[in-house]
Chains A and B, each alone.
Chain A
């Protein structure tokens, strides 16, 4: 098990190295001088320019700057922001840090419940109108971009019915629409998987046995059949969490939520590249962490996986 874990971590190292080098190079390769932007009105003040250049380490050779950048990442400070002069990036990020993962996790929980229910219903009523209706909803849920879905929902629920706030962050009512918008495509994805797994499980002998001994249909479906679809669904949940996390960028923009994603987009427009790159790096680390966690859970649940990977690796 330890060898499996070390192997997976070693596999992530190149990804993280590439991410660090690319984010470093991106900020340095940009046209324009960040210090002259920071000076704005004081552009003639050479003294202040030199001081800022020294504070941001921009007067050093690139190799030294890179080593400093590594140090900033390890200490979690991520360097200094261009937009908020003198302020460490970590401080700019601090208030936003928890919002995106919170949104993604809430949407995932909603999607797992709605998706399982819909998928199981579709499988039970295979090829009947209920199944067709659910499949049509799935195609729509997976095809329509989340900002288009958000437009419909905001128009219907907030503008026409006045049931929920249009945007903002902080209260439960403000969180309902963003989580719903994030959860819709994810639910469709879960439902499609749940339907496929259920159709397979329902063919099994033990389901027939359960029916033959006279169990109520609800017990057969949920306690015997559905239970066997939980492990594959749980593994797909890890993959989905990654996708949900990057979708939060869009949802945060739509609903004016001060999360990491909106901060990254705002920072690109404000030319605050250290902040944008720190968010890029954090998202890559989140992604890597999630995939590591999924592999770990899979390996704990199924010895064949860790054996198999040890043989091929």
Chain B
């Protein structure tokens, strides 16, 4: 990565905080087996709802599982789901947007019509629909969120392509006899990659939130695999007697999403100082 760009990202305090939080969550996810004091699904019914002590730093849940370990493994689930959704939606959305924007005409009309129709479905509603057909689970979350997210990316890509198409260098490439796929890949894509990167980093925060929401509703990640949304769901009825589960899950997920949002804002400012809002 360009060192000047990195310096600009870290110079702004919020950008640096975002980078720190995202790195920390990524490390938790990658090193979960090393960092977690216990296994995420080791139950100990005699030790259910134990208060924090030296063995279980945040206590245990209703099955006596270590809350801290489940939070750490939850980072892994959350990031894995979000990054899969991100990869799918970027692939589909960018491809659709590139083709629609560059070819225009009837292809463009058809793609944009589909985009409009999908966007007319609220995301939770679409997830309920997918969950009804596929049954609750990780696959449901990935399918539902991918369905919801690609149209926005397609729309953004299309508008970026339309702007690039006006540029002289595209005319030059066409005059040289470059074929459309090569123009898209070699000329247009590198020029819009920055804007897409910003969109992707802001998107991760929202996808994590959506994943947690679906798991909270019980439509997403299923037991015994830990998910932050599911942990809050389990903890909410016990808020009066054992608040640690729900509250720690809420803190972790709030901090993570704030981190990704700060990183996204920081990237936006660092890539294009003119876009600075303040």
Interface of A toward B, CB cutoff 8 Å: 11-12, 14-15, 18-19, 22-23, 26-27, 29-30, 127, 139-140, 142-152, 154-155, 158-159, 166, 196, 242-243, 245-247, 249-250, 253-254, 261, 264-265, 268-269, 273, 276-277, 279-280, 283-284, 287-288, 291
B249 touches A148 (CB 8 A): yes
A264 touches B128 (CB 8 A): yes
The CA of A273 and the CA of B128, in the complex, are separated in Å by: 10
12 contacts between A and B (CB under 8 A): A14-B113, A19-B121, A26-B133, A140-B254, A143-B257, A147-B229, A147-B232, A147-B233, A155-B247, A166-B240, A265-B219, A284-B121
B175 CB-CB contact with A under 8 Å = no
The CA of A276 and the CA of B129, in the complex, are separated in Å by: 8
Of chain B, the residue at the smallest CB distance from A262 is B217
**What 8 new A-B contacts, CB under 8 Å, besides A15-B116, A151-B232, A269-B218?**
A26-B133, A143-B205, A143-B254, A151-B247, A154-B236, A247-B124, A268-B131, A273-B132
B177 CB-CB contact with A under 8 Å = no
**Cβ contacts under 8 Å, A196 to chain B:** 277
Of chain A, the residue at the smallest CB distance from B208 is A145
**Cβ contacts under 8 Å, A159 to chain B:** 239-240, 243
B239 touches A151 (CB 8 A): yes
- A-B CB proximity, top 4 nearest: A148-B250, A246-B122, A144-B254, A15-B120
**Cβ contacts under 8 Å, B205 to chain A:** 143
The CA of A273 and the CA of B131, in the complex, are separated in Å by: 11
Smallest beta-carbon distance A279→chain B, Å: 7
The CA of A155 and the CA of B132, in the complex, are separated in Å by: 32
Secondary structure call for the A interface: helix
B213 CB-CB contact with A under 8 Å = yes
A145-B212, A145-B213, A155-B239 as given contacts; A246 in contact with B123, CB under 8 Å: yes
Contact with A along B252-278 (1 / 0, CB 8 A): 011001100110000000000000011
**Cβ contacts under 8 Å, A265 to chain B:** 128, 217-219
B133 touches A152 (CB 8 A): no
B125 CB-CB contact with A under 8 Å = yes
**Cβ contacts under 8 Å, B212 to chain A:** 145, 147-148
For chain B, residues 187 to 242, give those with C-beta under 8 angstroms from any C-beta of chain A: 205, 209, 212-213, 216-219, 229, 232-233, 235-236, 239-240
The CA of A280 and the CA of B240, in the complex, are separated in Å by: 34
A152 touches B247 (CB 8 A): yes
The CA of A23 and the CA of B130, in the complex, are separated in Å by: 10
B246 CB-CB contact with A under 8 Å = yes
B250 touches A151 (CB 8 A): yes
Contact with A along B122-147 (1 / 0, CB 8 A): 11110011011100100000000000
- Could you say which of A127, A142, A145 has the most chain B C-beta atoms within 10 Å of its C-beta? A145
Of chain B, the residue at the smallest CB distance from A26 is B133
Of chain B, the residue at the smallest CB distance from A16 is B120
Smallest beta-carbon distance A45→chain B, Å: 28
B117 CB-CB contact with A under 8 Å = yes
Contact with A along B63-107 (1 / 0, CB 8 A): 000000000000000000000000000000000000000000000
A30-B133, A143-B205, A268-B131 as given contacts; A246 in contact with B250, CB under 8 Å: no
Interface of B toward A, CB cutoff 8 Å: 113, 116-117, 120-125, 128-129, 131-133, 136, 205, 209, 212-213, 216-219, 229, 232-233, 235-236, 239-240, 243, 246-247, 249-251, 253-254, 257-258, 261-262, 277-278
- Could you say which of A12, A146, A269 has the most chain B C-beta atoms within 10 Å of its C-beta? A269
B209 touches A145 (CB 8 A): yes
Of chain A, the residue at the smallest CB distance from B123 is A246
A154 touches B239 (CB 8 A): yes
B129 touches A26 (CB 8 A): yes
B258 touches A147 (CB 8 A): no
**Cβ contacts under 8 Å, B124 to chain A:** 246-247, 249-250, 261
A155 touches B120 (CB 8 A): no
Of chain B, the residue at the smallest CB distance from A273 is B132
The CA of A154 and the CA of B128, in the complex, are separated in Å by: 26
**Cβ contacts under 8 Å, A155 to chain B:** 239, 243, 246-247
A18-B117, A148-B250, A152-B247 as given contacts; A276 in contact with B258, CB under 8 Å: no
The CA of A272 and the CA of B112, in the complex, are separated in Å by: 34
A147 touches B239 (CB 8 A): no
A283 touches B122 (CB 8 A): yes
Smallest beta-carbon distance B254→chain A, Å: 4
A22 touches B129 (CB 8 A): yes
**Cβ contacts under 8 Å, A249 to chain B:** 124-125, 128, 217
Smallest beta-carbon distance A169→chain B, Å: 16
A250 touches B132 (CB 8 A): no
Smallest beta-carbon distance A148→chain B, Å: 4
**Cβ contacts under 8 Å, A148 to chain B:** 212, 232, 249-251, 253-254
**Cβ contacts under 8 Å, A158 to chain B:** 239
Q: CB < 8 Å: which of B125, B216, B235, B261 contacts A250?
A: B216
**Cβ contacts under 8 Å, B277 to chain A:** 196
The CA of A277 and the CA of B126, in the complex, are separated in Å by: 10
A152 touches B132 (CB 8 A): no
The CA of A254 and the CA of B261, in the complex, are separated in Å by: 25
**Cβ contacts under 8 Å, A11 to chain B:** 116
B122 touches A142 (CB 8 A): no
